[in-house]
Amino acid sequence: MELSGTVSDTFSGRTAVVTGGGSGIGAALARRLADHGAKVVVADLDPATAGKVAAEIGDAAVSAAGDAADPEVIQHLIDRAESAFGPVDLYFANAGIGGGAGLDSTDAQWAAALEINTLAHIRAARLLVPGWLARGGGHFVSTASAAGLLTQLGSAPYSVSKHAAVGFAEWLSITYGDQGVRVSCVCPMGVDTALLREGMIPPDNVEAGRLAINAVKSAGAVLTPEEVADTVLAGVAAGQFLILPHPEVLTMYQHKGSDYDRWIRGMRRFQHALENPDS
SS3 268: helix
Neighbours of 264 (CB within 10 A): 12
Alpha-carbon gap, residue 276 to 279, rounded angstroms: 5
pLDDT tens, position by position, 115-125 = 999 999 999 99
* Confidence at 99, pLDDT banded by 50, 70, 90: confident
Distances (CA, A) of 118 to 126, 201, 246, 247: 13, 20, 22, 24
What 3-state DSSP class applies to 4? Answer: coil
Which of the listed ranges 107-111, 204-208, 219-223 does the model predict with the highest average pLDDT? 107-111
Cα–Cα distance measured from residue 152 to residue 37, given in angstroms and rounded to the nearest whole number: 36
Give the Cα separation of 31 and 27 in Å (integer). 6
Q: Rounded mean pLDDT of the chain?
A: 92
pLDDT, residue 213, reads: 73
pLDDT band, very low/low/confident/very high, at 206 (cuts 50, 70, 90): low
In degrees, rounded to 5, the angle at the alpha carbon of residue 109 between the alpha carbons of residues 242 and 148 is 15
Enzyme catalytic residues: 158
Q: How far apart are CA 217 and CA 173, in angstroms?
A: 31
The residues near 139 (Cβ < 8 Å, ≥ 6 apart) are: 89, 90, 91, 181, 182, 183, 184, 236
Q: How far apart are CA 146 and CA 142, in angstroms?
A: 12
Higher pLDDT, 108 or 215: 108
Residue 194's pLDDT is 73
65 vs 173: CA distance, rounded Å: 28
Average pLDDT over residues 51-55: 98
Is the pLDDT score of 210 beyond 70?
A: no
Report the predicted TM-score, pTM, of the whole model to 2 decimal places.
Answer: 0.92
Q: What average pLDDT does range 242-249 have in this prediction?
A: 97
